[in-house]
A and B are shown apart, each in its own frame.
Chain A
Amino acid sequence: MAAHLKKRVYEEFSKVVQIPHEEAPAKKLRLSKPSKSAALHIDLCKATNSTDALQYLLQFARKPVEAESVEGVIRILLEHYYKENDNSVRLKIASLLGLLSKTRGFSPDCIFDDAINTLSNENSHQVLAQLLDTLLVIGTQLPESPAVRLRLTEVAYKHLSDTHFGVRNKCLQLLGGLGVVDAPLGKDSEGPSSSSAGAVREVQTIISDYFSDQDPRVRTAALKAMLQLHERGMKIHQIIYEQACRLLSDDYEQVRSAAVQMVWVLSQLYPESIVPIPSSNEEIRLVDDAFGKISHMVSDGSWMVRVQAAKTLGSMLQVSPHFLEQTLDKKLMSDLRRKRTAHERAKELFASGEFSSGRKWADDAPKEKLDTNTVSLIASGACGAFVHGLEDEMFEVRIAAVEALCQLARSSPSFAEKCLDFLVDMFNDEIEEVRLQSIHVLREISTHITLREDQLDTVLAVLEDSSRDIREALHELLCYTNVSTKECIQLALLELLKNLNKYPTDRNSVWKCLKFLGSRHPTLVLPLVPELLSTHPYFDTPEPDMDDPAYIAVLVLVFNAAKSCPTMPALFSDHTFRHYAYLRDSLSHLVPPLRLPGRKQVYSLDSVDSGAGSGSVESAQVFLQQSLHRVSTIQNLETPGAQDLLDFTIRDLQRLGELQTELAGAADFCATFLRCQLLLMKALQDKLWNTAVPLCLKQNVTATAAAQQIVEETYKLEFLYSGLESRQVATIHHVRLQAKALQLILTARTRQGVDPLVSSEKFLQEVESFQRQFLSELPHLQDSFVEKLLELMPRLSSCKPVELVKILQATLRQSGLPQLRLPERVHRATATILEPTGESDNPLRFTTGLVLALDIDATLEHVQNPQNTVKVQVLYPDGQSHVIHPKPADFRKPGPDRHRLITQVYLSHSAWTEPSQIEVRLLLAYSSASSSLPSRTKLGWSDSFDGLPPPEPAVEGTIPFSKPVKVYIMPKPARR
């Protein structure tokens, strides 16, 4: 029987392999190797004119060729190549050669010489270019062979002087891709040939000769080849720098673009070399010179070049600070320096100097004569590069400039200080993307800067923006900002309250922002406290409304400041203390524990963290480990008290998870795992095993339910938690296997008549796949169910299902608890639906048959790849449910491990007589295939997937992972 089983299993596998042969679309593919090439040969011979031949070749190119037959095919092709007179056919053959030599498993060295020979008597330039391209492919396929490379470079040198640009292009590509990196090697191997020795020495010189080619495409190719050499590890000579700089003023944009890259590469290679400034006898560092030149390109005529230049600037971190600062000014540095000290505000820089700024009326009225020699309009160097970049017409350039500013500012605090004004200006850009980007950038560099009042003012003005993303980004920014005066705090608070008033949905974000603002600037908040809490030395003021979000906002600010400012609580009035107690409980994540005078603090488990935050986490960790250890002592499931112990541990762990947010994931994970064990234990303990079948039907129901639940829980364990190692996954799978075994036994028992052959087969398959998958983990699963099962495997596979069930039953009851070892960091995926809030009593009305768009706003934490996994489920009162896939663009990523889903779901239903509630929740979709199967490797050069064995049947399902939110809706009947 088992042998039969096994055979069937194998049959299935081998069948899979055969499929491509049966399903291959064309007859020719079934023919064996020689006949295949023969078919091509016949086809080509049949072709009377070039169009036909071309057609045959095109058809041929659509089908894949096996590695074994490639060589034969190539020979045939080459034969025809020599016979063919028509250029286009030869061109196609040449391109096919390249394509074929890319076939996996085929080593093109056997056709290498032939390919080179074809070059010698070819006179069409296009074909020549294509052949060189083929050679490039062959060359890259054979990276190990220096002789091949040398031959190819020689070929390239020979054809470099061709009159057709395409040929020169390809030659340069060849040189770039294959030019010898380590010169000595080439010399040894090919000593006698003087040309090659010379060639090896001077690949760079030869390529650089083509920097001044007459064709811009060749110039570009030369630059690209040089860049490729650099990427392959060759050290580019510094002489190239001058040539590359000359190409920066080329007439063609692609040349300029490549030249920008080249200059950048050289500036990274030789940052400290000294280069002379033409037309004066000064000298500067090369990186500074390059920086100046690239800055110049920011005002280039072509926007592609501008983007390139702006991006490149960001990565030139070695540039000297005074050069860097020039990029923010339109005028010369010498002038700038002298004037700057005189002015308090960097802003006024622009109003100073010789030119009218256009901001004040008639400030360009003639004044005293200036020494015009000192003012240079196109300053040599970096002047105003960023000013231009940020004002550019194309938003791509602006974004690139903002990003570059960010990179440079991160490495230079003084520069960060200076670019502040410009970034703040970008908050006003016409394209939201740019605004958002600049806010993010400001956040990133905010550690370096302290905002002045006027700057803060402009920053805060954006709080009224109607775009939610912008506002939230700004809140995030304010969390990290340092401000200088108490007026700033007041201003910020005022604006935030205004924002809260205008957009009540921003509540959480505003509170959070104020929390950080308070804890960052306790001393600045202190003098404001009486005013903020509107206390008065003599009079009692009315107690503010506790539910007012604005008042809560103020309190959040004050309490967070009070945390590190012990004198502050003295200023609180009575009701403030009461409100503190209330908020501490209701909004514990926003309000820190305070030591309040005259009040005894209630030390609960969580209040430890007021003392030493890290210590408490450690102690919790210890507690977690201890509980696990305690559980692991349970050897036998039937030990009295074992169940109780599990019960208590589960309870403890759940509470721990609530208290210690950092360990919530791990604690939850353990608790769920233990619950599975408990369920399993209970199911096994039931008396049903001993009673006769007809009697136990009833208990059977509970046991079946338990088994089902365990399977579900294991899926949750596997997919809801991130940070699991393969060992944990193995343990989870193990539990699932146990549950499946239980299910098998139960079905076997209840349905006596039915042959449980199919299900037992399936189970055995699962055991095998488990073994395959977790081979490396098996040693850790000693003395477990699976181990025993595997020991018995030969017997199992040969015995009858009834026997199998018996064996399973015995092993299941004997096996002990598997040990759960906790991974480093486990996080539970969670989702919170922020909107709709579910509090509204007003039903959303819409006409039946039409749709209602419901805005959904949710935060997701620790969800990997939410674009594919997170779905929205809508449950109607009649039991109908819809699952909606949000668009990938609806997910934003505000922070690590955090996602934000802002989307709209469309609802529709037939008419209702009165409003009713629907439920909206988020689901996490999983598929067992996604985690267990390694990613497929791509096959061959054709993209057909026919040959693949079908993946193992994947279990797909969804886990609800957010609290459902109720929405009141009312579809009205349509009026006719």
Chain B
Amino acid sequence: MPEIKVTPLGAGQDVGRSCILVSIGGKNIMLDCGMHMGYNDDRRFPDFSYVTQNGRLTDFLDCVIISHFHLDHCGALPYMSEMVGYDGPIYMTHPTKAICPILLEDFRKITVDKKGETNFFTSQMIKDCMKKVVPLNLHQTVQVDDELEIKAYYAGHVLGAAMVHIKVGSESVVYTGDYNMTPDRHLGAAWIDKCRPDILISESTYATTIRDSKRCRERDFLKKVHESIERGGKVLIPVFALGRAQELCILLETFWERMNLKAPIYFSTGLTEKANHYYKLFITWTNQKIRKTFVQRNMFEFKHIKAFDRSYADNPGPMVVFATPGMLHAGQSLQIFKKWAGNEKNMVIMPGYCVQGTIGHKILNGQRKLEMEGRATLDVKLQVEYMSFSAHADAKGIMQLIRMAEPRNMLLVHGEAAKMEFLKGKIEQEFSIDCYMPANGETVAVKTNPSVPVDMSVNLLKREMALGGPLPDPKRPRSMHGTLIMKESSLKLVSSEQALKELALNEHQLRFTCRVALQDPHSDSETLHRIYTHLKSLLKGYTIQHLPDGTVMVESIVIKVSSSAEDANAKILLLSWSYQDEDLGSFLSSVLKK
């Protein structure tokens, strides 16, 4: 039985450093190659020694596929390709290919320049790595080699995020990456066709969440910002440079436009400008509204949102500031936070997840006094709001995707074990399919039942069609006679006559004969006649002949009667049939034995 093996090197019952190995039909594929935000040591990257102890990965992997540009999905890419060594193709979508190097470079700068780490990949390595990338288009089927093909589907989540359908022969796997089933202000919803993969590998970040309508969230968000502005307060929104930031910008921009508001909105510069540029370019990857209106005006050309300067933070009057990073642990957002924390008119809105230990996490948990470096304490008087704008599918969305794709098996990654457990139960109950949730390094093997395509000769096909009704019924399997010829690697199904001819063999007849002894006082011919009439009444719809030479023919089965010399009553029936009539023959013999 062929198997598909899936081994998560990262993101198994965990969030971060997504890296999943799949071997399918003799091909080895690496899905995503991310880093872990939480670690600064070797655990940061996936453990590639699982694949090979020493030497390059090229020999062991057929291709690498990156689902989107978040660092926990692509952060380890240069390390893997340049430092460990991989020369094969790397597949990603066009926007991912464009934005990914910016983030990698930024990541490299922070680790090398700020933290002073050595033995890290260099800018040149990023460039070299990007040279190996093959871009993908949506719904384009790409042949990696003769047997392996991949196809990308829209996944929402961030610009350019894709789900991939990997297919070898008739076996297939779908990897979702991160995806979002509810559209937002700048991206559409994930979509996949009914491809019925053997395994669906899905993220499960929000395995236990059913979010309420996103409109409530948006309305609350806008209302809070609006109220605060009307009071004359300042609003700080810590965000990461890419992804949610753009959504919130569009949300505020359109709101400002609709409501004719005048208060300034600032966005801390840096990465954002470059990234916004790409957002403008890849309009086809955004949602319906933006795609439809970009001819009049590109939504990413913000009218109300301006670049932020350090000095603006002290300006009087209301303002809204988007600042990086998103968890208030360092950088500009923290500086602004410190300045504004003392005024209760101000507000900070945390639009996403905060890791434990960050200031964001502390204030969200209600801490009103913060200890800063140098023993200083900071009184937090401003309002703290949390609003989840994370673009992951919630439990309902995951179920919806399963319904769309109709997989035979389910595999959960990228989530917490406890929550996965819950969802796993749900999936098994609802769809009655197997669901797996391997930990890192744990291998799941799924047996598949691939169909083997066989060429069939036209003559044989036509003959079969003529036999059984006008239309083949696709729902019902049908058995037929033929000869399977295996030559080299091709399979051919032909009629037996043709096969004999092709292979220059003589036909051999195979006949079964059987004797049935019975007691009958009548003469031979009479017995035969009785059998004939009996069979005639029994087997309607068969041609039964009573031949003059003392035999009965049922189709091609011959029945003879002979009496033994000793006992005139003990008759012996001789049955003889060729092996094609095995069914009927054995049936007859069992009938006559009675």
A interface list, Cβ under 8 A from B: 161, 163, 212, 214, 251, 299, 301, 330-331, 347, 350-351, 353-362, 364, 366, 372-373, 375-378, 384, 387, 390-395, 422, 425-426, 428-431, 458, 461, 464-467, 502
Contacts and interface: CB of A to CB of B under 8 A. Distances in A.
Given A395-B289, A425-B219, A428-B219, A301 B399 contact: no
A392 B189 CA distance: 8
A378 B181 CA distance: 14
B430 interface: yes
B217 A358 contact: yes
B215 A428 contact: yes
Given A372-B422, A377-B396, A466-B257, A393 B209 contact: no
Contact of B425 (A330, A347, A372): A372
A162 to B, nearest CB: 8
Nearest to A358: B388
B254 A458 contact: no
B220 interface: yes
A391 B214 contact: yes
Contact of A377 (B387, B430, B470, B475): B430
B215 A425 contact: yes
A384 B396 contact: yes
Interface in B442-470: 470
B213 A391 contact: yes
A391 B194 contact: no
Interface of B: 182-183, 185, 188-189, 191-194, 206, 208-220, 222-223, 226, 254, 257-260, 287-289, 350, 364-365, 386-388, 390, 394-396, 399-400, 403-404, 418, 422, 425-426, 429-430, 470-475
Nearest to A349: B212
16 contacts: A301-B194, A359-B216, A360-B386, A361-B365, A377-B399, A377-B426, A377-B430, A378-B399, A378-B430, A391-B182, A425-B219, A429-B215, A430-B185, A458-B223, A464-B258, A466-B258
B354 to A, nearest CB: 8
Nearest to A430: B289
A358 to B, nearest CB: 4
Contact of A362 (B215, B289, B364, B471): B364
Contacts of B218: 428
Contacts of B471: 161, 163, 214
Contact of A359 (B183, B215, B388): B388
B210 A458 contact: no
A223 B155 CA distance: 33
A715 B475 CA distance: 73
Contacts of B474: 214
Closest 9 CB pairs of A and B: A350-B212, A358-B388, A393-B183, A425-B215, A361-B386, A355-B210, A358-B211, A161-B470, A356-B209
B396 A359 contact: no
B426 A390 contact: no
A200 B85 CA distance: 74
Nearest to A251: B194
Contacts of A465: 258-259
Contact of A355 (B185, B209, B418, B429): B209
Given A301-B191, A330-B396, A357 B211 contact: yes
Contact of B260 (A357, A390, A430, A464): A464
A270 to B, nearest CB: 27
Contacts of A299: 400, 403
Nearest to A366: B418
Contact of A347 (B216, B288, B350, B387): B216
B364 A212 contact: no
- Taking chain A's interface residues, is the majority helix, strand, or loop, or is none over half, making it mixed? loop
Contacts of A458: 219, 223
Contacts of B289: 395, 430-431
Contacts of B404: 301
B430 A426 contact: no
A502 B261 CA distance: 11
B152 to A, nearest CB: 16
A715 to B, nearest CB: 43
Contacts, number: 134
Given A358-B388, A377-B426, A390 B213 contact: yes
A357 B403 contact: no
Contacts of B220: 359
Contacts of B222: 428
Nearest to B395: A377
B229 to A, nearest CB: 12
A430 B253 CA distance: 11
Contacts of B472: 214
A473 to B, nearest CB: 14
A461 B258 contact: no
A375 B403 CA distance: 18
B470 A425 contact: no
A377 B288 CA distance: 28
A387 B222 CA distance: 20
A355 B191 contact: no
A467 B257 CA distance: 10
A354 B426 CA distance: 13
Contacts of B422: 372
A361 B395 CA distance: 18
Given A393-B188, A393-B189, A502-B260, A461 B365 contact: no
Given A301-B404, A362-B365, 20 more contacts: A163-B471, A214-B473, A214-B474, A301-B192, A350-B212, A356-B206, A358-B390, A359-B211, A359-B216, A359-B387, A364-B208, A373-B429, A376-B426, A377-B395, A384-B396, A392-B183, A393-B288, A428-B215, A430-B254, A430-B289
Nearest to A348: B212
A353 B209 CA distance: 10
Contacts of B429: 373
Contact of B213 (A353, A387, A394): A387
B403 A390 contact: no
A754 B404 CA distance: 87
A364 B191 contact: no
Nearest to A360: B386
A394 B218 CA distance: 18
Nearest to B209: A356
Contact of A163 (B208, B425, B470): B470
A953 B289 CA distance: 50
Contact of B212 (A357, A361, A377, A466): A357
A359 B218 CA distance: 11
A502 B219 CA distance: 22
B193 A356 contact: no
B42 to A, nearest CB: 30
A947 B197 CA distance: 64
Contacts of B210: 330-331, 353, 355-357, 377
Nearest to A502: B260
Contacts of B192: 301
Contact of B364 (A361, A392, A426): A361
Given A361-B364, A362-B365, A466-B259, A390 B287 contact: no
Contacts of B189: 392-393
Contacts of A376: 426, 430
Contacts of A357: 209-212
B396 to A, nearest CB: 6
Nearest to A422: B213
A355 B475 CA distance: 40
A388 to B, nearest CB: 8
A351 B395 contact: no
Nearest to B422: A372
Contacts of A387: 213
B395 A355 contact: yes
B180 to A, nearest CB: 10
Contacts of A353: 210
Given A214-B471, A466-B259, A359 B212 contact: yes
A452 B287 CA distance: 34
B53 to A, nearest CB: 39
A500 to B, nearest CB: 14
A425 B259 contact: no
A392 B214 CA distance: 11
